[in-house]
Amino acid sequence: MLNRRVTWGAALIAAAAPLASMPVHAQSASERAAEAAKKYAGEEITITWEAGLQALDPKNFSIPKWEERTGVKVRVVELPVGEMFTKTMQEYRAGTGAYDVLNVVPAWMPDLAQAGALEPLGPFIDKYDYRADLEGIAPVYRNNWMTYQDKVYAIPDDGDQWMLFYRKDLFNDAENQRQFEQEYGYALEPPKTWDQFDDIARFFTDKYGPELHGAAMFGKPPYAQRTFQERFRVAGGRFFDPETMKATINTETGVEVLERMRAQVDYMPDGVQQWGFGELLSAFLKGNVAMVQSWPPFGRWAAGYGTDSEPLSWVPATQIAGKVGYAVPPGGASQMAVGFSLSVASNSDQKELAYLFIQWINSQEISLQRVQLPYALRDPFRESHYTDSEYKSRWDSAPEYLQTLKDSAAVGLLDLSIVQTAAYQEALQRGISRLWAGDDPQKILDDVAAEWNEITERVGVERQRKVYQDWASKPNAYP
Amino acid sequence: MTTRDTAAGSAAPPGWGRRLELLADRKFRYLLIVPTVFLLLSVTVFPAIYTLIVSFQDITLMAEDRSFHGLMNYQRLLEDSRFWWSLVHTVGFLLAALALQFVLGLLMALLFVEWMPGRQVFITLLVLPTVISPIVAGSAWRIMYEHQYGPISQIIGWLAELDNPVLWTADPTFVYPAILLAEVWQWTPFMFLLLLAALVNVDKSQVESAEIDGSTYWRTFWYIVFPAIRPVVAVALLIRSLDLFRVFDKVWILTQGGPGTMTELISIYIYKVGFQQFQTSYAAAMTFVVIILLTAVVVLALRRMGVSP
C-alpha cells in the first residue's frame, strides 16, 4: 500500500515538476505585474504624462487602484505635450533619473532610442510573460509603435488616429440626397475621395451656410502639417528618395495637396486656419459643421458620452447626439496623429518596477477600463477594446463607432518618425503657416524641401537613410 | 631673545602693529565677501565660459561629442540666414516697442505728474500689467485676438463691418501690430513709473521761473525738464532694451515665430535650435554671439551715458 502511495506521489511530483518552471498562466498579465510589484511596496516611481485631461486617468483612476493593489506609490509629472520631448531629453542628458516611466510619442522614438534615453523592454516582457498579452494590441499599433531597429522600446497605449465624423441626419435627408445627386451626378454618401469631400462640403455650405458649413479642419500648423503628411501620402507622395535621402515633397503631388488645403478654406468657417482641437470640437458639437476629421474622442463626446462628468464640463453640450456617423477618411487612410506609448527611462534606478507599472496599466484588463473612462483621452487600441460588449452598450451607435475605429486604424498612416523628427516637422509647420499667409505653394515646398535636405545633411545622410528605411519598411508608413 | 632683537623690535616704526591689524582686518573683509563673489561668479561667469566651451564642441541630440571642433559652429552661423533674419526681427521689434513704450510712458507720466483726484488709484491700476507673468499676459492676448470670440476681433469686426475676421496672429499684415500691442500694453507702465519718478523730482523752481519768463510748455520741457530727467530716461531705455532683446514668452504664445519665420525673434530661434532640436553646441554659439553683441551695446550705451563700465 505504502509502495503504491509512494509510486503515485512520485508520479505526481514528476508530472508537476515542469509546471513549476513554467509561468503561472492562471494569473492575468495585470495580476502578474501587481504581484511582482508588491515586493517594492512603499517605494515610489515617477511617471510623465500629458498635462490636463490626459493625466486624470492615472491620477483619478489608475494610480489609486495600483497603489491599493501593490503599495507602490506613483508620482505623476504633468507636461504639456509640446514640452514632453524637451523635458524628457533634458532630464536624460542631465542624468537626473527624475523619471521612471515615460509617455513617448512614437515619432520621437528614433531620437530617444538613439540618444539612449529608452530602456529596451524585451527582457522584462519575457520575464513577466507579457508577449501573449501584447498580441492583443491592434496590429497597426503593435507593428508600428513598439520597435526601433528591431528592439522593443515602447508599448503602445493609445489608439490615436484621425477618423471621419459626419452628420448622418444631413446625409440621410431625402431632399439633400436628391439635390446632391442632381447637382453632382452621384449619391450623397460619406466621401471616399478628397474630390467627393470637397463636393459634399461645398454642397452643404451653399445650402446651409453661414449657420452650418460643409466641413472644417485643423488649420493650426502643428496639426495641419499632419493633414499634409496624410494627404500627400494618400496621393502617392513619398517624403524622401530612399537612395539619396533628398526630400521629395516639393513635387506636383505636394503642391496639389497644399493648393487643395488652401482652396478648402473657402467653404469652411471663417478663421479655420487657426483652429485647433478646441475650436473644431466646439463647432462640430454645436452642429455648425457637417464633416470633420479628428481624433476618436469627438465621436464619444458628440454622442454625449461622459460629457456630464465634471472633468468634461468645458466640452460644449452636444447638439448632435444620435446624428453622427463614422467613416474611414477620404482616400482610405487615417493619420495616426501623435499617439502615446509607454517606455522605461534608461537612467531610472527603478527600471523593473517601472516596467511592472507599464505592464499592469497597459494590460488587457486595466486598459479596457481606462479607455472607457468618461474623461478618457486614451482611445481603444486593443482588439478586445473594439469588441467589448460593455463598451458597445455605452451609447446607441457605439458598436458602429468601435467597428469604424478598428477599420480606420487598420489603414492608419504613421507620423513621419526619423532622427530629428521635430526639426522636419517644424519646417513643415512653418510652411503651413506661410500657406495661410498667402505664399506660393511651390515656393513653400521648395523651401521646406531645402530645409529638410539641410537637416538630413546635418544628421548624416547614411545615418538618416538607415532610420528612414527602418521607418518606411513598417507596414503603415505608406498606403 | 637677544638684546639686539629687542633693540630691533623697539626700533620698528610705531604704526607697524596698526598696519598689521589693518591688513588682517582687510583680509577678514575679503574673506567675508568671498562666498558672495563665488556665488555671483558661479551663476554669471561660469555659465558664460561654459557656453563658450560648448560652442566649440559638437553636442547634438545624437552625440555628445566634446572634442574641439574649432569655429565650425560660428562658420555655420555666418551662413545661417535664419539666424541673421531673427536678429533683424529682434532689432526691429525692439526699436518699435521701445519707441512706443517711451512715448506713451512719457505722455502718461506727464499726465500724472500733477495732482489729480484718484491719482494714486489710477497709477496703481496702470501698473497692474507689469506684475502679470509674461506667459499669462501672452495667453490673455491670444484669447483677445481669437478670431471667433476674441473681444478685439468682435469689436473691430463690428466697427469696421468686416465679414471675415482678422487673423491677427496668422496674417502677415497684422501679426507685428498684434505682438507689439501686447508688449506695449504690458511694459509701458514700467516706463511710465520710472519717468514719473524722474518728473516728480524735477526742480519746480526752474520750471516756474521759465514759465514766468514766458517760455512755452514745449521749450520748458525740452530745455529744463528733459535734461533733468535724461539720466533716468537713459537707464529706463537701457533696461527696456535689454528686456526687449530677450522677449520670448508672449511672442511664443502668440505666434511661435510665424507665419513662416516672420516673427521669429532671436530668443525663439535659439530656443527651437537648442531645446527642440537639441543642437546644443550650435545654440551655444548663437547665444555667445548674442552675448557679445549685447555687451558691446551696453558698454557703448553706458559710455554715452557717462557711466564707466
Question: How sure is the predictor about B5, in pLDDT bands with cuts at 50, 70 and 90?
Answer: very low
Task: Report chain A's C-alpha Rg in angstroms.
Answer: 25
**Which of A419, A426, A434 is the closest to B276 by Cβ?**
A426
Q: Does A419 touch chain B (CB under 8 A)?
A: yes
A115–B260 C-beta distance less than 8 A: no
How do residues B185-225 score in pLDDT, each as one tens digit? 999 999 999 999 999 999 999 999 999 999 999 999 999 99
Across residues B103-124, what is the average pLDDT? 92
CA B172 – CA B3 distance, rounded (Å): 94
Please tell me the distance in Å from B278's CA to the nearest CA on chain A.
Answer: 8
Residues of chain B above pLDDT 90, percent: 67
Question: How sure is the predictor about B176, in pLDDT bands with cuts at 50, 70 and 90?
Answer: very high
A115–B62 C-beta distance less than 8 A: yes
CA B85 – CA B279 distance, rounded (Å): 19
A90–B259 C-beta distance less than 8 A: no
How do residues B55-108 score in pLDDT, each as one tens digit? 999 998 777 778 899 999 999 999 999 999 999 999 999 999 999 999 999 999
Cell, residue B56: 566649440
Give A-chain residues touching B169 at CB under 8 angstroms: 274
Q: What is the pLDDT of residue B254?
A: 95
Chain A residue with minimal CA distance to B257?
Answer: A430
Q: Does B75 touch chain A (CB under 8 A)?
A: no
pTM: 0.87
Mutate to test the interface with A, among B62, B73, B85, B146 (most CBs of A within 10 A): B62
Q: What is the pLDDT of residue B7?
A: 44
Q: Report in angstroms the alpha-carbon separations of A383 from A49, A183, A375, A379.
A: 24, 41, 21, 12
Chain B residue with minimal CA distance to A419?
Answer: B62
Give B-chain residues touching A220 at CB under 8 angstroms: none
Taking only residues 175 to 194 of chain B, the set having a beta carbon closer than 8 angstroms to any beta carbon of chain A reads none
Question: How sure is the predictor about B307, in pLDDT bands with cuts at 50, 70 and 90?
Answer: low
Using a 10 angstrom Cβ sphere, with 0-12 exposed, 13-18 middle and 19 or more buried, the burial of residue B63 is: exposed
Q: Does B260 touch chain A (CB under 8 A)?
A: yes
Full 3-state SS string of chain B: CCHHHHHHHHHCCCCHHHHHHHHHHHHHHHHHHHHHHHHHHHHHHHHHHHHHHHHCCEECCCCEECCCCCCHHHHHHHHCHHHHHHHHHHHHHHHHHHHHHHHHHHHHHHHHCCCCCCHHHHHHHHHHHHHCCHHHHHHHHHHHHCCCCCHHHHHHHHHHCCCCCCCCCCCCCCHHHHHHHHHHHHHHHHHHHHHHHHHHCCCHHHHHHHHHCCCCHHHHHHHHHHHHHHHHHHHHHHHHHHHHHCCCHHHHHHCCCCCCCCCCCHHHHHHHHHHHCCCHHHHHHHHHHHHHHHHHHHHHHHHHCCCCC
Question: How sure is the predictor about B6, in pLDDT bands with cuts at 50, 70 and 90?
Answer: very low
What do you get for the CA distance between the two ends of chain A, in Å? 72
| Helix (H) / strand (E) containing A115 | helix A109-115
Strands A412-414, A334-336: pairing kind: parallel
The answer to ipTM > 0.85 is no
Chain A residue with minimal CA distance to B275?
Answer: A86
Give A-chain residues touching B57 at CB under 8 angstroms: none
Q: What is the pLDDT of residue A12?
A: 47
Across residues B27-55, what is the average pLDDT? 90
Please tell me the distance in Å from A467's CA to the nearest CA on chain B.
Answer: 13
Cell, residue A434: 506661410
CA B105 – CA B114 distance, rounded (Å): 15
Mutate to test the interface with B, among A84, A273, A275, A430 (most CBs of B within 10 A): A430
Give B-chain residues touching A463 at CB under 8 angstroms: 62
A270–B259 C-beta distance less than 8 A: no
CA A234 – CA A331 distance, rounded (Å): 6
Question: What does each of the 479 residues of chain A score in pLDDT, given as a tens digit?
Answer: 444 554 455 544 444 444 444 444 568 999 999 999 999 999 999 999 999 999 999 999 999 999 999 999 999 999 999 889 999 999 998 899 999 999 999 999 999 999 999 999 999 999 999 999 999 999 999 999 999 989 999 999 999 999 999 999 999 999 999 999 999 999 999 999 999 999 999 999 999 999 999 999 999 999 999 999 999 999 999 999 999 999 999 999 999 999 999 999 999 999 999 999 999 999 999 999 999 999 999 999 999 998 988 889 989 999 999 999 999 999 999 999 999 999 999 999 999 999 999 999 999 999 999 999 988 899 999 999 999 999 999 999 999 999 999 999 999 999 999 999 999 999 999 999 999 999 999 999 999 999 999 999 999 999 999 999 999 999 999 99
Q: What is the pLDDT of residue A25?
A: 54
Q: What is the pLDDT of residue B308?
A: 55
